[in-house]
């Protein structure tokens, strides 16, 4: 009983014990909640993220047959959710979308999270588990996006429309205004006129998601 009490104090210990009891791995559970295979290992060993988000707790609770509260849900979280829709913790990824000459994308590993109102996300037509926060690097998108700004990227499968997108071109991750040119071509446009537009074939480009929000220091 002493061990059970100590486990109940720490969601990481609860998760480890429950995974062992279910004869499964943290990697498999990470994939189950839609994350990269190292996500829960980092949660357990590095404390990143500091808390599991509501969706992850719900899925793990059902699969592992443990309570959401034991995985870190606050005692009054259901009351809060009924009152204001609750909060969604959107992962901040350890990479930057270049607004300059191009930057090689790093591993997509969450190191922290930004909290957004679920009610606000719903009014914007956004789904929490399809969102990521990344930072802007470089000055090619000034004044719309500045070096160091953080952007909320919607990775949902939408029909393409012109606008601000995070794209992968070769090994580089970029944030640009993307405009269709027809005939399987798109234009990557910088807001800073010092950077000329670049036309590429659609098959050369992977659209990661559209930019739906920005934040940064004043």
DSSP per residue, 77-115: HHHHHHHH--EEEEEEEEEEEESSS-EE-----EEEEEE
Higher pLDDT, 142 or 68: 142
| DSSP H or E run through 135 | strand 131-137
Q: Are 29 and 60 in contact (CB under 8 A)?
A: yes
Per-domain boundaries in the chain? 2-73, 85-215
pLDDT tens digits, one per residue of 2-32:
343 344 468 999 999 999 988 999 999 998 8
Report which of 61, 59, 55, 104 is spatially closest to residue 81, judged by C-alpha positions: 55
Cis peptide before 146 (omega within 30 of 0): no
Lowest mean pLDDT among 78-87, 128-137, 144-153, 156-165: 78-87
Q: Are 63 and 32 in contact (CB under 8 A)?
A: yes
Q: Are 205 and 166 in contact (CB under 8 A)?
A: no
In the prediction, which pLDDT does 99 show?
57
Task: Domain 85-215: give its CATH code.
Answer: 2.10.109.10
- The rounded distance, in Å, linking the Cα atoms of 127 and 129 is 6
Higher pLDDT, 155 or 6: 155
How many Cα atoms sit within 13 Å of 28 on the Cβ side?
9
Sequence-distant contacts of 196-199: CB under 8 A, at least 24 apart? none
* Section 142-156 average pLDDT: 92
- The rounded distance, in Å, linking the Cα atoms of 109 and 97 is 14
* Section 134-161 average pLDDT: 90
* Common-topology check for domains 2-73 and 85-215: no
* Topology annotation, domain 2-73: 434 Repressor (Amino-terminal Domain) (1.10.260)
Strand partners, 188: 178, 198
Higher pLDDT, 113 or 108: 113
Lowest mean pLDDT among 20-24, 85-89, 134-138, 167-171: 85-89
Give pTM, 2 decimals.
0.59
pLDDT tens digits, one per residue of 70-101:
898 765 444 444 444 688 999 988 766 665 55
pLDDT tens digits, one per residue of 39-75:
999 999 988 888 898 888 888 988 888 888 889 876 5
């Amino acid at each position: 009983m002493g061990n059970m009490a100590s486990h109940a104090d720490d969601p990481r210990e609860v998760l480890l014990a429950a995974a062992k009891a279910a004869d499964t791995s943290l990697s498999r559970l990470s994939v189950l909640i839609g994350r990269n295979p190292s996500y829960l290992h980092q949660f357990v060993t590095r404390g990143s993220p500091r808390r599991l988000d509501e969706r992850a707790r719900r899925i793990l609770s059902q699969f592992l047959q443990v309570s959401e509260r034991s995985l870190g849900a606050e005692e009054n979280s259901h009351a809060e959710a009924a009152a204001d829709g609750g909060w969604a913790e959107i992962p901040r990824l350890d990479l930057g979308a270049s607004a300059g000459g191009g930057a090689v994308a790093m591993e997509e590993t969450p190191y922290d999270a930004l909290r957004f109102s679920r009610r606000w996300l719903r009014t914007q037509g956004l789904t929490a588990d399809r969102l990521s926060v990344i930072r802007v690097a470089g000055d090619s998108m000034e004044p719309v996006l500045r070096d160091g700004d953080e952007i909320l990227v919607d990775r949902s499968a939408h029909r393409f429309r012109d606008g601000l997108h995070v794209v992968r071109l070769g090994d580089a991750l970029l944030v640009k205004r993307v405009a269709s040119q027809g005939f399987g071509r798109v234009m990557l446009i910088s807001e800073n006129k010092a950077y000329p537009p670049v036309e590429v074939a659609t098959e050369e480009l992977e659209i990661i998601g559209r930019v739906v929000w920005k934040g940064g220091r004043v």
